[in-house]
Amino acid sequence: MYYWFMLFLAIITEVASTSFMKMASGSSPVMGYTLMAILISISYFFLSQAVRKIPLAIAYTMWEGLGLLLISLMSWYFFDETFSTNKLIAMASLMTGMVLINLGEKLSEKQEQESKAQPTNEKELQPCQTICN
């Protein structure tokens, strides 16, 4: 659970960092860029902690995918940016992709656990014994 919390913090700080980048393009660039640099560094630290136990493909997908979705929502809410039909379709595709990657990883882990639980054939473990002797 700790590693998922680290991933959550990585996503939140990445979204905040990107929001400050937008702020930097406006009224207070020095403050915006400074906060952006600090927060993205913190985000990478949290992400590095998360990938200690969460597979990199899953962690990075969630970090980027949820980050993009949240940034899109923030830009709509705070910066009055619009959602086109294409953008909504892309966001739905992104969410579908994240779900499929997570399901695929869970299925892979389940199959791996089942294969470890099955008894192994001793001949399969030592194929060289008859050939090499």
Closest CA to 50 of 35, 62, 40: 62
CA distances (Å), origin 99, targets 13, 62, 110, 132: 22, 9, 16, 48
Return the domain boundaries, the chain.
2-107
Report the pLDDT averaged over residues 90-102. 88
Which pLDDT does position 106 carry in this prediction? Answer: 74
For the chain, give the mean pLDDT.
85
Query: What is the value of pTM for the model shown?
Result: 0.74
Q: What is the mean pLDDT of residues 49-61?
A: 93
Instruction: State mean pLDDT over 40-58.
Output: 95
pLDDT digits (tens, 9 = 90+) for 109-122: 777 777 777 765 55
- Summarised one tens digit per residue, pLDDT across range 2-46 is 999 999 999 999 999 998 888 888 777 888 899 999 999 999 999
